């Protein structure tokens, strides 16, 4: 009996393994760096619209970049959907993504088209979101702290150890903060500010959405995150409020890239064009996401932060998305800020 | 021996003449290759070399011919053995060499490229034909070496050593070596020792400032301190549990066993999540303290203490599983002899029982130490600002910088730590004989423990058990609660979301989000676990029993993947196996291999510890009666290794189901794993579904453990059950 079972399982195992990768006809493999609900919705909608079978996995933008870079000689992924723009620009810089000019480019907002042009048409903007603050209104009331409205508020003594932000080594969100501060205050003042901010930070989390989740759960009082993530938490029932910094703030252009040497290039281009259409971008709102879509005809989700109502800087994506500049700023942060005593 | 030669030759022939030499897109069982059998993609080596210009394959046929000659000349044993050795050695070595030398775009070695010039020397990854031919050549090599007298003339042992060594070499050494080479390379790929030194000597790794100021210490020191504490803690706890489980009349033993095993079943993130739910700033304990005593909730759990607690939870079960086999194996006749000589129970325990358990204690400490330094999930979620090497490596790989050299340097340091622990353990064990399972019969029950030992065991183990129970109750409850900490109404919504099954006209639709990853994980773990256990036990037996040149290196090699942290293994596998000659990324096979070689060391350790207690006289008796190596192993040693087999099977199945860091780079959209999926949910804050899924997984694995224990069975040594409250006098 035992021998039979062992033999049967061995045969089954061999058969299973020898089956190898699924045939590539009518398939598409997507790595997705937005929230999982949106990833799943996008895959399902595209399948319904085109019949292409989509295999989608959600991974942070840092992880996806590492995977695409490691697989560069023999790529298994076809397309990278979403995630903050800087890793996409870095991938374009290192020629890991395919050049493709979609016919829908003209339908997009200027900032999305500029993203495409800046990268040599290796990537394109699919949404935008402003950087700001999230805070737990219940904890603020309990600790009798006023809600933060400006960058200067966060370095006040009442916020000591009350704030969370991500670690720029792994998070695009945190890098956006560094680059925004540099463009608002100038590099020296920005790093002096971040040194002062260090006293307010209790943890530098790995993922960009970690801080806002902690705010929602009450694990921390305030966070520096993208405002649309805060709205998602508020809609889910948590006591989260959001605010845009009064001195000015940066924003992200969430992007999409086709991997160079993709096995399903035709389907990837089909998906690319579809994802830039107004209908496809409305899927985000259905999945309770509150970014600003890049297609001019796509409706802004109700409740989403309005980009024209806040003080946004003219973020230079080309300069701050370049590999060398990213490395320099993050190394400087690591040396000057992360090594300070906690 | 003579029967094996034609089988090996048939294997080589099949590989060279029938099966497709290169890897097929749709897999071997797609049978699409039969239709184009002489075409460029699917042809066997014969046609590849003859029709399609792959002239570098011809020497393999020469090796095959040499092997046939050696077989026909079996009358002259020395000549036959030499020919087989030459054929097998050259065939196997050349097969690997040509695989690495001629790549996808041309020759990879400079002088070869120059010599070849413009001729199209290109090839894809090795496929079924190459694997079959390679296996055949390896068997020929083993037969040749045994025929010439190596390894005591035993073909089975030779074959086993070669097979395990090749497997470990290809799937543990090669990927790790590839990554470590990048440690000494610059970003561009050229050798750069100065850059290596700069990365290695960074203050972030080695500074001792935390001793004198409020700054943080280097991550290397953090890792060592944590690992020592965890190793000691888990050994003590594991010993307490093992003693209670085997030597006392404690009534609820089965529950105790299950409880110690629970933490190992749950994914590492869940333990950390549970600790946060209970002790976090918004957790139950802090909320209660605030309500009762007005104490302000703080984030005290984050840091060394949180990670230490989580790792104690996570790794005590491994120590327990190792120690219970050893504690059970301590022969009562020694203790009876000491008691007959009028030693008090305390003296017997301290001077006879404990020293006999030394292999187990040392092994348990080593395992705890290494698990701690390689652990990734817990430091990530509970570390706060307390950095350890594994999280540093993760940031180096996954971060915005993608600094492979730095990740590799840190991995080097981690490896050095593991090696140091291994060497220290060897010195401690020394050369004393721990033989207690001998051929002579005995019938005593285990001596009752002295009062102080019993009290200590109960005192340590029972509160820990209660604590574990509480933690798991909390986490289990979390699956049924709307939103933890905010809306405590009961609901089944999370389970529904994860495991929904809808009915349609065409039958059931598995619409729950968890089904895809669950089925994949179960299938791959079920395939990997028996392979891991088999490989580990054979390797353990070879190391503990047989003397052969390179045994120490062999032992270290099998332990290698255990010490290397998961994230480095993951990236190593992607780098090593994404290009020919061995192209595996994106398949299920790479995940299975990662499971097998990452978890094999525990099977090896358990095997060594168990075999160390088996007297050689059993093997010798079997040999005297005419049994060859293979028969002795299968019919004498293996049944006595059942506890080790059970431990290895359970551990490898569970680790395959719960590993995160190694596979996070290997997960694809087609082959999504449960742990990666749950991590995604946890990171997204969807704790309801994450906990529901984890609870279901846990239940599934408890079932699996029961099934494995039932299938493999218990070892039956001739002893009575421990006596119910026998009061030993004096």
- Predicted confidence at residue A201, as pLDDT, reads 92
Which has the closest alpha carbon to B362: B294, B404, B418, B422? Answer: B422
- Predicted confidence at residue B329, as pLDDT, reads 77
Contact between residue B279 and residue B301 where contact means Cβ atoms under 8 Å apart: yes
With 90 as the cut, is the pLDDT of residue A261 above it? no
Rounded CA gap, A196 and A156, in Å? 9
Q: Stretch B430-442: mean pLDDT, rounded? A: 52
The most confident of the ranges B300-314, B420-434, B475-489 is: B300-314
Residues of B numbered 93-122 whose beta carbons fall under 8 angstroms of chain A's beta carbons: which are they?
Answer: 104
Contact list, B526 vs chain A (CB under 8 Å): 9, 13
Q: What is the pLDDT of residues B232-256, one digit of tens each?
A: 999 999 998 888 888 887 777 777 7
Residues 6+ apart with CB under 8 A from B304: B222, B225, B226, B386
Which has the closest alpha carbon to B593: B24, B168, B187, B304? Answer: B168
Q: What is the pLDDT of residues B12-43, one digit of tens each?
A: 888 888 888 887 765 666 666 777 777 777 77
- The dihedral of CA B570, B576, B578, B581: what is its sign? negative
Which of A6, A18, A25, A335 to probe by mutation at the B interface, max B CB count within 10 Å? Answer: A18
Residues 6+ apart with CB under 8 A from B484: A217, B277, B478, B687, B688
With 80 as the cut, is the pLDDT of residue B323 above it? yes
- The dihedral of CA B86, B89, B92, B96: what is its sign? negative
* Maximum separation of any 2 CA atoms in chain B, in Å: 91
> Per DSSP, what are the bridge partners of residue B478?
none
Q: Phi and psi dihedrals of A134, rounded to 5?
A: -115, 145
Share of chain A above pLDDT 70, in %: 92
Question: Long-range contacts: B348-355, Cβ < 8 Å, 24+?
Answer: B348/B447, B348/B450, B349/B447, B349/B449, B349/B450, B349/B453, B353/B447
Q: Given an 8 Å threshold on Cβ–Cβ distance, is B400 in contact with A9?
A: no
Contact list, B663 vs chain A (CB under 8 Å): none
Contact list, B668 vs chain A (CB under 8 Å): 29, 55, 57, 76
- Predicted confidence at residue A18, as pLDDT, reads 41
Q: What is the pLDDT of residues B100-131, one digit of tens each?
A: 888 776 777 777 777 777 777 777 788 888 88
Angle at B379 between CA B373 and CA B380, to 5 degrees: 130
A52-61, A154-163, B507-516, range with the lowest pLDDT: B507-516
Rounded CA gap, B65 and B514, in Å? 54
User: B642 at the A interface (CB within 8 A)?
Assistant: no
Q: How many other C-beta atoms lie within 10 A of the C-beta of residue B249?
A: 13
Question: Which band of pLDDT confidence, cut at 50, 70 and 90, is reported for residue B563?
Answer: low
A4-18, B17-31, B325-339, range with the lowest pLDDT: A4-18
User: B303 at the A interface (CB within 8 A)?
Assistant: no
With 70 as the cut, is the pLDDT of residue B337 above it? yes
Which has the closest alpha carbon to A312: A130, A183, A71? Answer: A130
Q: Are strands A123-136 and A222-226 parallel, antiparallel or unpaired?
A: antiparallel
Residues 6+ apart with CB under 8 A from A165: A173, A174, A177, A201, A204, A205, A211, A223, A224, A225
Q: DSSP letters along A194-262, please?
A: HHHHHTTEEEEESSTTHHHHHHHHTSSSEEEEEHHHHHHHHHTT--EEEE--TT-B-EEEEEEEEBTT-
Residues of B numbered 9-68 whose beta carbons fall under 8 angstroms of chain A's beta carbons: which are they?
Answer: 24-30
Q: Given an 8 Å threshold on Cβ–Cβ distance, is A62 in contact with B399?
A: yes
> Per DSSP, what are the bridge partners of residue A81?
A32, A256
Q: Given an 8 Å threshold on Cβ–Cβ distance, is A206 in contact with B665?
A: no
Q: Given an 8 Å threshold on Cβ–Cβ distance, is B26 in contact with A23?
A: yes
Which of A25, A31, A218, A237 to probe by mutation at the B interface, max B CB count within 10 Å? Answer: A218
Rounded CA gap, A18 and B49, in Å? 25
Rounded CA gap, B593 and B587, in Å? 11
Q: How far is CA B623 from CA A213, B100, B627, B629, B642, in A?
A: 65, 42, 5, 8, 21
Closest to B579 (Cβ–Cβ): which among A73, A210, A233? A73
In degrees to the nearest 10, what's the CA dihedral of B380, B385, B387, B391?
Answer: 30
* Cα of A73 to nearest chain B Cα, Å: 7
Q: How many other C-beta atoms lie within 10 A of the C-beta of residue B202?
A: 17
Per DSSP, chain B holds a count of helices (H) and strands (E) of 35, 4
With 90 as the cut, is the pLDDT of residue A27 above it? no
Closest to B672 (Cβ–Cβ): which among A13, A23, A57? A57
User: B255 at the A interface (CB within 8 A)?
Assistant: no
Q: DSSP letters along B367-430, please?
A: HHHHHHHH--HHHHHH-TT---HHHHHHHHHHSTT--HHHHHHHHHHHHHHHHHHHHHHHHHHT
Q: Given an 8 Å threshold on Cβ–Cβ distance, is B685 in contact with A217?
A: yes
Residues of B numbered 662-681 whose beta carbons fall under 8 angstroms of chain A's beta carbons: which are they?
Answer: 664-665, 667-670, 672, 676, 680-681
Q: Given an 8 Å threshold on Cβ–Cβ distance, is B28 in contact with A20?
A: yes
Q: Given an 8 Å threshold on Cβ–Cβ distance, is A55 in contact with B587?
A: no
User: B281 at the A interface (CB within 8 A)?
Assistant: yes
Which has the closest alpha carbon to A132: A220, A242, A209? Answer: A242
Rounded CA gap, A165 and A224, in Å? 5
Q: Stretch B589-618: mean pLDDT, rounded? A: 85
Q: What is the pLDDT of residues B702-711, one digit of tens each?
A: 888 788 878 7
- Predicted confidence at residue A76, as pLDDT, reads 79
Question: Which band of pLDDT confidence, cut at 50, 70 and 90, is reported for residue B401?
Answer: low
Q: Stretch B616-639: mean pLDDT, rounded? A: 84
Residues of B numbered 617-636 whose beta carbons fall under 8 angstroms of chain A's beta carbons: which are they?
Answer: none
Q: What is the pLDDT of residues B161-203, one digit of tens each?
A: 999 989 988 888 888 888 777 777 766 656 778 878 888 887 7
Which has the closest alpha carbon to A120: A340, A318, A337? Answer: A318
Rounded CA gap, A119 and A97, in Å? 10
Contact list, A29 vs chain B (CB under 8 Å): 668-670
- Predicted confidence at residue B432, as pLDDT, reads 46
Angle at A69 between CA B121 and CA B202, to 5 degrees: 115
- Under the phi-then-psi rule, with left for phi > 0, alpha for psi from -120 to 50, and beta for the rest, what region is A164? beta
State the count of interchain CB pairs (< 8 A) between A and B: 187
3-state secondary structure of B668: coil
- Predicted confidence at residue B717, as pLDDT, reads 59
Question: Which band of pLDDT confidence, cut at 50, 70 and 90, is reported for residue A194?
Answer: very high
Closest to A66 (Cβ–Cβ): which among B215, B282, B402? B402
Bigger pLDDT: A126 vs B380? A126
Q: Give the end-to-end CA distance of chain B in Å, rounded to a whole number.
A: 59
């Amino acid at each position: 009996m035992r021998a039979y079972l062992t033999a049967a399982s061995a045969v089954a195992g061999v058969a299973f393994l020898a089956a190898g990768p699924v045939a590539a006809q009518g398939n598409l493999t997507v790595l997705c760096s937005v929230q999982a609900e949106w990833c799943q919705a996008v895959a399902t909608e595209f399948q319904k619209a085109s019949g292409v079978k989509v295999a989608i996995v959600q991974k942070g933008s840092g992880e996806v970049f590492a995977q695409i870079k490691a697989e560069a000689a023999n790529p298994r992924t076809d397309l990278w959907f979403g995630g903050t723009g800087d890793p996409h620009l870095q991938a374009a810089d290192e020629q890991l993504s395919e050049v493709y000019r979609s016919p829908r480019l003209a339908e997009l907002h200027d900032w999305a088209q500029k993203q495409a042009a800046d990268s040599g048409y290796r990537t394109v903007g699919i949404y935008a979101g402003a950087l700001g603050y999230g805070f737990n209104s219940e904890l603020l009331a309990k600790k009798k702290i006023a809600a933060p409205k400006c960058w200067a508020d966060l370095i006040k003594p009442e916020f000591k150890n009350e704030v969370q932000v991500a670690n720029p080594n792994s998070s695009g969100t945190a890098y956006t903060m560094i680059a925004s501060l540099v463009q608002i205050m100038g590099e020296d003042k920005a790093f002096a500010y971040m040194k002062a901010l260090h006293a307010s930070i209790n943890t530098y989390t790995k993922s960009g959405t970690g801080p806002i989740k902690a705010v929602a759960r009450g694990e921390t009082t305030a966070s520096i995150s993208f405002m649309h993530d805060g709205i998602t938490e508020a809609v889910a029932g948590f006591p989260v409020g959001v605010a845009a910094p009064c001195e000015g703030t940066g924003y992200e252009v969430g992007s999409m890239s086709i991997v160079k040497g993709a096995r399903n290039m035709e389907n990837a281009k089909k998906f690319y064009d579809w994802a830039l259409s107004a209908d496809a971008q409305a899927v985000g709102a259905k999945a309770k996401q509150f970014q600003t879509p890049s297609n001019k005809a796509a409706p802004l989700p109700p409740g989403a932060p309005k980009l024209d109502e806040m003080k946004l800087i003219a973020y230079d994506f080309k300069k701050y998305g370049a590999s060398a500049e990213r490395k320099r700023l993050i190394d400087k942060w690591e040396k000057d800020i992360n090594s300070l005593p906690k | 021996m003579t029967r094996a030669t034609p089988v090996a030759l048939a294997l080589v022939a099949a590989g060279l003449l029938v099966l497709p030499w290169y890897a097929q897109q749709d897999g071997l069982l797609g049978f699409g290759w039969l239709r184009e059998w002489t075409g460029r993609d699917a042809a066997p080596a014969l046609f590849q070399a003859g029709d399609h210009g792959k002239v570098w394959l011809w020497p393999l046929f020469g090796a095959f011919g040499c092997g046939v000659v050696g077989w026909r000349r079996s009358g002259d044993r020395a000549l036959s053995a030499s020919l087989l050795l030459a054929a097998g050695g050259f065939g196997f070595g050349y097969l690997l060499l040509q695989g690495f030398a001629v790549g996808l775009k041309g020759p990879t070695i400079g002088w070869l490229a120059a010599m070849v010039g413009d001729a199209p020397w290109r090839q894809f990854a090795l496929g079924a034909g190459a694997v079959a031919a390679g296996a055949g050549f390896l068997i020929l090599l083993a037969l040749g070496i045994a025929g010439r007298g190596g390894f005591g003339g035993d073909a089975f042992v030779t074959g086993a050593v070669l097979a395990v060594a090749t497997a470990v070499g290809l799937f543990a050494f090669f990927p790790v070596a590839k990554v470590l080479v990048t440690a000494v390379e610059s970003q561009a790929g050229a050798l750069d020792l100065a850059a290596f030194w700069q990365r290695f000597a960074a203050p972030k790794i080695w500074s001792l400032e935390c001793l004198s100021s409020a700054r943080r210490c280097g991550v290397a020191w953090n890792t060592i301190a944590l690992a020592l504490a965890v190793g000691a803690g888990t050994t003590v706890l594991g010993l307490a549990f093992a003693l209670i489980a085997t030597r006392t009349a404690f009534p609820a033993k089965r529950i105790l066993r299950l409880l110690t095993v629970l933490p190992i079943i749950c994914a590492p993130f869940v333990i950390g999540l549970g600790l946060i739910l209970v002790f976090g700033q918004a957790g139950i304990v802090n909320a209660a303290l605030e309500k009762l005593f007005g104490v302000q909730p703080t984030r005290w759990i984050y840091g060394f203490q949180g990670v230490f607690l989580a790792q104690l939870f996570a790794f005590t079960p491994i120590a327990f599983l190792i120690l219970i086999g050893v504690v059970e194996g301590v022969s009562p006749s020694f203790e009876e002899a000491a008691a007959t000589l009028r030693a008090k129970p305390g003296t017997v325990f301290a001077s006879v029982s404990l020293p006999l358990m030394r292999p187990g204690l040392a092994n348990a400490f080593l395992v705890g130490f290494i698990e701690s330094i390689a652990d990734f999930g817990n430091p990530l979620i509970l570390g706060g600002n307390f950095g350890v090497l594994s999280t540093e490596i993760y940031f180096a790989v996954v971060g915005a910088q993608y600094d492979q050299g730095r990740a590799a340097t840190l991995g080097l340091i981690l490896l050095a730590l593991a090696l140091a622990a291994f060497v220290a353990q060897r010195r401690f064990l020394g050369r004393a004989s721990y033989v207690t399972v001998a051929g002579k019969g005995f019938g005593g029950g285990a001596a009752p423990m002295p009062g102080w030992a019993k009290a200590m065991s109960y005192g340590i183990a029972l509160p820990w058990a209660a604590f574990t129970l509480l933690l798991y109750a909390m986490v289990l409850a979390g699956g049924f609660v709307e939103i933890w900490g905010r809306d405590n109404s009961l609901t089944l919504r999370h389970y529904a979301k994860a495991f929904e099954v809808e009915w349609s006209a065409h039958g059931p639709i598995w619409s729950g989000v968890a089904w895809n990853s669950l089925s994949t994980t179960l299938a791959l773990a079920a395939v990997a676990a028996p392979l891991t256990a088999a490989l580990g036990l054979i390797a353990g037996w070879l190391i503990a029993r047989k003397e052969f040149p390179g045994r120490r290196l062999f032992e270290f090699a099998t332990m290698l993947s255990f010490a290397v942290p998961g994230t480095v293994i993951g990236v190593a596998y992607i780098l090593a196996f994404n290009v020919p000659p061995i192209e595996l990324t994106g398949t299920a096979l790479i995940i299975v291999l990662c499971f097998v070689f990452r978890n094999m060391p525990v099977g090896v350790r358990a095997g060594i510890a168990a075999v160390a207690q088996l007297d050689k006289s059993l093997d010798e008796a079997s040999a005297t009666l005419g049994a060859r190596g293979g028969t002795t192993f299968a019919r004498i040693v293996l049944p006595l290794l059942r506890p080790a087999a059970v431990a290895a099977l359970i551990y490898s199945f569970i680790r395959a189901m719960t590993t995160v860091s190694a596979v996070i780079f290997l997960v694809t959209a087609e082959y999504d794993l449960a742990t990666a999926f749950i991590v995604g949910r946890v990171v997204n804050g969807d704790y309801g579904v994450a906990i529901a899924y984890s609870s279901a997984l846990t239940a599934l694995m408890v079932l699996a453990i029961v099934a494995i224990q039932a299938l493999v069975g218990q070892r039956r040594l001739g002893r009575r059950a421990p006596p119910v409250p026998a009061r030993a006098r004096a």
